[in-house]
Amino acid sequence: MTAVLFDFSGTLFRIESAESWLRATLDASGHTLPEPRLSETARALDAAGALPGGGVDPVELPADLAALWAVRDETAELHRAAYTGAARQVPLPDPGLYDALYERHMAPAAWSPYPDAAEVLRTLRERGIGVGVVSNIGWDLRPVFRAHGLDPYVDAYVLSYEHGVQKPDPRLFSVACGALDADPRQVVMVGDSKEADGGAAALGCRVHFVDHLPVTERPDALLPVLDLVG
Asked if residue 89 has pLDDT above 90, the reply is yes
pTM for this structure? Answer: 0.96
pLDDT band at 225 (very low <50, low <70, confident <90, very high): very high
Instruction: Specify whether 103 is located in the same domain as 129.
Output: no
Q: Mapped to the 3 state alphabet, what secondary structure does 190-229 carry? A: EECCCCCHHHHHHHCCEEEECCCCCHHHCCCCCCHHHHHH
Average pLDDT in the 222-228 region? 97
Domain boundary among 81, 109, 137: 109
pLDDT band at 230 (very low <50, low <70, confident <90, very high): confident
Instruction: Specify whether 168 is located in the same domain as 191.
Output: yes
Q: Which of 11, 85, 2, 92 is nearest to 50 (CA)?
A: 85
Instruction: Specify whether 105 is located in the same domain as 115.
Output: no
Mean pLDDT, rounded, of the chain: 97
Dihedral sign for Cα atoms in the order 200, 205, 210, 214: negative
Domain boundary among 109, 138, 167: 109
Question: What is the per-residue pLDDT across 152-193, written as a single tens digit (0 to 9) for each?
Answer: 999 999 999 999 999 999 999 999 999 999 999 999 999 999
How many domains are contained in the chain?
A: 2
Helix, strand, or coil (residue 159): strand
Domain boundary among 75, 90, 109: 109
How many whole angstroms separate alpha carbon 227 and alpha carbon 221? Answer: 12
Average pLDDT in the 39-63 region? 95
Instruction: Specify whether 81 is located in the same domain as 135.
Output: no
pLDDT of the residue at 78: 98
Q: Which domain holds residue 137?
A: 3-14+111-229
Amino acid at 159: L
Question: What is the per-residue pLDDT across 100-130, written as a single tens digit (0 to 9) for each?
Answer: 999 999 999 999 999 999 999 999 999 999 9
pLDDT band at 197 (very low <50, low <70, confident <90, very high): very high
